[in-house]
A and B are shown apart, each in its own frame.
Chain A
Amino acid sequence: MKNWFLRGLTAGIRTEPLTEGAVSAALSPGLPKTTEHTGTQRAEMLAAACPNEAIRAVEAVAEVDEDRCVLCMRCKGRDGQTWRRDVAWAHPNADSQGPLEPRFRRSLHVRIIDAGDCGSCLNELAQMNGPAYNLHRLGIFITPTPRQADVLLVVGPATRQMQDALVSAYEAMPEPKRVVAVGVCAASGGIFGPSLMSAAGVAAIIPVDLVVPGCPPPPHAIIDALRLVCGQTARPVPR
């Protein structure tokens, strides 16, 4: 027992500084950015190559819908497509209630719901709680029950057989509450939905306040979203 204690102590602090700015490829895969190309043909080629209709060609501009990008990496480095390296990916949903009241700023409890996730978003969530990102220092905690949760963090496209459980969990939460959809599947259904067994994202089932795109979004981007929800940071609404 004593050994474990010493091991923990001698490991030192390994936590990354908080950031919403540019990070390396080791920490985040990045996202494609709306890019103005030199000709319509290039933009159209990129739009045609996108497997999930995340890129739309508007004349010479390749317009990127981040909520649809599954990070297939096929447009990366191709034909001058630019890439965003920051991690401020979270954006409010259309009918967002905005951040929680100030008293949640230093104590936020989050219940994670897996509504059909492939495992990579869940793994990034596990990392978020590990020494490298250390969610606890921000006063944000993962709780095992929705009855004690202020935020429902949903991953996955809301599969048909998980929808009842998702609604029950949402209804079991006390007010005030917020829902954060994490990952492209939760944002729009991603590569899986809308289809026979997957919804067009979580917003089709329960009201969503904040959306974090990405496949999967890196821990920094998810932490950024949680900080936005509890009012630790604020950003002008980008769109």
Chain B
Amino acid sequence: MTEGPLPFEEASVRALANGRLQEALRRAMTGLRTKRAEATSELPHFEALRDRAKQIKTHTLLHLDRYLEQLEAQVTACGGTVHWARDAEEACRIVVEICRRYGARRVVKSKSMLTEEIELNRALQQAGVEVMETDLGEFVVQLDGDRPSHLIAPIIHKRREEVARLFARHLGTPPDAPVELLTQAARAYLRERFLTADVGITGANFLVAETGTVVLVENEGNARLSTTMPRVHIALAGIEKVIPRLGDLGVFLPLLVRSATGQRLSSYVSLITGPGRQEGEGPEAFHLVLVDNRRTEILADGELRESLQCIRCGACLNVCPVYEKVGGHAYGWVYAGPIGAVLTPQLLGLERAAELPYASSLCGACLEVCPVRIDIPRMLVRLRWRTVARGIARPSERVAMRLVFWILASARLYRIASRLGRLVQRIAFGDRPIRRLPGILGAWTRTRDFPQLPPKTFRDRFRRRP
């Protein structure tokens, strides 16, 4: 990962100029929105589930210390080992050490955003361990040296033809192979990896405190294989993933799956509690790595704590008009879309991601669909407040906005500015439409006329009415 500010602006312009990407995004987003709308509307108590999920998440975060300790005790009682990682580096070191302890050469991995966040693959490769992504999308990303562009649909930016060409190069399929053949080829390739892997690494959709259970939600069965074939299972999860009771899944599973893909239930839901109980029944060892990586800072932050409630369903990305235009890569880091614009500045630091909270028209579509009702627009505005408060805003903007403030804070200055504006307009444009403006307003007039100031304001006209 390079240092320096994330270049959202340039990346968004590039994305907009990419016709194929535009088409792919439009098609995918339309499909996902429709499916979500259908799946949520057929559940009469869907709104009640959202309220309940919000309550559970709020409660759990308030007592996170207690639930994490309960989780650790339960995992340990079931024969597993819990590791605590303060940051990305420590988490990677722990996983590498576990792999070394078991003499692991080959690791299979199912989809996990957290492992992207901490760049686990790089750490394992540097330690001489071969890592194989087994989620089809992530597999494609890995083969292509690409990055995922969506929380749940990592190759939403890629077209079938691109994947066919990629597979032709790496797996020897015909360059125009149909989807069925491509998935078969991936399946055959990965099957051999599953059989020979020493360690399986997964993330976790939920961690159940009362039972010490890791819950994995997926459609391809690769997480199931990753947790049953290798000798060792390592699960990594952010500390915010814990929920109190097994019964809470009755709330979260329908919310997650219907919000994410519009399915009623995913093809697989795996509940994994500790290692296998006897020979030949699952892995002989189970390790859970609980990762902080700035999450306790977010937890301590009353204004932004709510963002830890995210269950990574991707619904906010799917309905976001900005995401639909720029795609996931434009956000510059692991988490894209509206929730990415909230999380990235907190996880990477506001200095590096100051532009992201501004990359939103604040239309509120994200809040409308969020299964745990995270007020994303409000978080974005609060992050903008911090950007200015910490002096990250451009000096020219600061001056301009101070001026706007002075004008708006005094009826007299407001009136003077309004007269002055009319004078300037008359000199510069006369009665002609305003097609070109200087400075920041020039961005408006690229493709849009600027509204003309009429001779009299409303207040002037109102005062003179009969």
Q: Do A and B come from one complex?
A: no
Interface residues of A (CB under 8 A from B): none
Interface residues of B (CB under 8 A from A): none
